[in-house]
Amino acid sequence: MKQKGKFRQLIQSDTPVLIDFSAAWCEPCKAIAPILKEVKATVGAGVKIVKIDVDQNPQLAHQYQVRSVPTLILFKDGKVKWRQSGVIPTQQLLGVLQA
């Protein structure tokens, strides 16, 4: 996801896009992976889930003021609809996505 244009195109979708800003060295990021997998299995095509490594994409992390990982940001039609840092329980995340 190195190109800003590609990222912008991705978040312009009318399908909600959940971006998981994470890092390979981050233990909470590893803990959220199975939660995101379960969420994807539940919502299916209703949401796109994309993982972005902040170490490989520092300009995107800076642009969206990601100060800690994991940070989840939900986009729809190019706009930020919700964001949270840290691990979030599956049911709580499902509630956000289904709202």
Point out the residues that are catalytic. 26, 29
Given a contact cutoff of 8 angstroms between Cβ atoms, the answer to whether 83 and 71 are in contact is: yes
Cis peptide leading into residue 70 (ω within 30°): yes
